[in-house]
A = this chain, B = another copy of it.
Amino acid sequence: MYRPEIKVLDCTIRDGGLMNDHQFSPELVRKVYKAANEAGCDYVELGYKADESQFDRSKFGAMKFCTEGDLIPMVEGIEKKSKLSVMVDIGRVDPEAIPPKSESVVDMMRVASYVKDIDKAINLVNQIHAKGYETTINIMAVSHARERELDEALMQIEKESAVDVVYLVDSFGALYSEQIAHLSKKYKTLMPTKEIGIHAHNNQQLAFANTIEAIINNVNYLDATLFGIGRAAGNCPMELLLGFLKNPKFDLRPVLELLGDDFVKIREEIEWGYTIPYAITGILDLHPRAGMALLKTDDRDNYLSFYEKLINEANV
């Protein structure tokens, strides 16, 4: 038995792009978009809408910017079943540059925000909503949020924002199932008119399991990526999520085909997924940046000294 309210969002290209400055080839972006459409994903997220006055086009791929001119070549000619999503970071997007929905191929915009920036997030999301888009607020690094401040932020979103969906984002891959259940219930209780989403990271091999735990606790918007590609330890693997969900509209085949055709090679070029340094930052509830830095050094396999360094820093 399945829950028809469940929506799957493929963010392979968006979150995977964090590992290569969004330099995927247009051919690959189109293949992922097509496969996600055919697999029955409800949304496909291709990148960020970053301000061109802040970021240099010579240093990033087109999916860092996601203007209409960037997006149309990625999707045209492909039968559209999934809605198209882009992410916006507070302070890195120019709201004036966002066209009205009627002039855009984009259906949904997701605002990434820390708890401390929730006023800015609500302001931005309300502007985007007024232009006609579906919207989400993705509250990042929720494992570091103080409980009382998080509660206040959620109540404020419920009261002041027009947002459709609020995401629980375990940016550090630090949360265990009991904490996911607790937070899912809190989100639902404090925001009864909003849908809730989950975006999990895989530092402790819990991204898929925590997504299931969130589903059990009435979270309906589920992020996943092919082979779990994403920053550092990556995300919930789409192939596992579609294998679990019983909704007959989902089809694992287009995902498996693309994994075999392209992602075996991509894995040789880009390093993501479970490794001991990311497991350590997850266990310690820390940003993965220390692990990402370690993996670029000759000392990359010295796990014990890495662990002791992080423990000592935390104890200062």
The answer, yes or no, to whether A176 is at the interface (CB within 8 Å) is: yes
Interface 9-residue window, one of A8-16, A145-153, A257-265: A257-265
Can you list, as one digit per residue, whether each of A238-259 has a CB less than 8 Å from chain B (1) or not (0)? 0110011000000011001101
Question: Quick one: copies of this chain in the complex?
Answer: 2
**A223 CB to nearest chain B CB (Å):** 15
Q: Taking the nearest CB of chain B, how far is it from the CB of A245, in angstroms?
A: 11
**Distance between Cα atoms of A204 and B202 in the complex (Å):** 13
Chain B residue at minimum C-beta to C-beta distance from A262? B301
A279 to B241, CA, bound (A): 11
Per-residue 0/1 for A54-97: is the Cβ within 8 Å of any B Cβ (1 yes, 0 no)?
A: 00000000000000000000000000000000000000000000
- In the complex, A42 has a CB within 8 A of chain B: no
Q: Give the contacts of A142-186 with B (CB-CB under 8 A).
A: 176-178
CA A274 to CA B209, docked complex, whole Å: 14
B257 touches A304 (CB 8 A): yes
Of all chain B residues, which has the CB nearest A257? B304
CB pair B209 A307 closer than 8 Å: no
Task: Check if A213 is an interface residue, CB within 8 A of chain B.
Answer: yes
Q: How large is the interface on A (under 10, 10 to 19, 20 to 34, 35 or more residues)?
A: 35 or more
Contact of A301 among B204, B207, B264, B301 (CB under 8 A): B264
Residues of A21-68 at the interface with B, using a CB-CB cut-off of 8 Å, are none
Please report the C-alpha to C-alpha distance between residue A204 and residue B260 in the assembled complex, in whole angstroms.
17
* Separation of A119 and B240 alpha carbons in the complex (Å): 37
A212 within 8 A of B: yes
Q: Contact mask A289-306 → B, CB, 8 Å, 1/0?
A: 000000000000111100
Partner of A237, one of B205, B208, B303: B205
Q: Which residues of B contact A237 (CB under 8 A)?
A: 205, 279
Residue from B205, B243, B257, B283 within 8 A of A209 (CB atoms): B205
Q: Is A216 an interface residue (CB 8 A)?
A: yes
Instruction: Tell me, yes or no, whether A232 is within 8 Å of chain B by CB.
Output: no
Residues of B within 8 A of A222 (CB): none
Q: Does A206 contact B (CB under 8 A)?
A: yes
A285 to chain B, nearest CB (A): 11
B176 and A177 within 8 A (CB): no
A-B contacts, 18 of them at CB < 8 A, read A177-B213, A177-B216, A205-B209, A205-B240, A208-B209, A209-B209, A240-B279, A240-B283, A244-B283, A252-B307, A253-B304, A253-B307, A256-B276, A256-B303, A256-B304, A256-B307, A260-B276, A260-B302
New A-B pairs, 10, CB < 8 Å, besides A205-B205, A257-B303: A178-B216, A202-B205, A204-B208, A205-B208, A239-B276, A243-B283, A252-B283, A256-B276, A256-B303, A274-B274
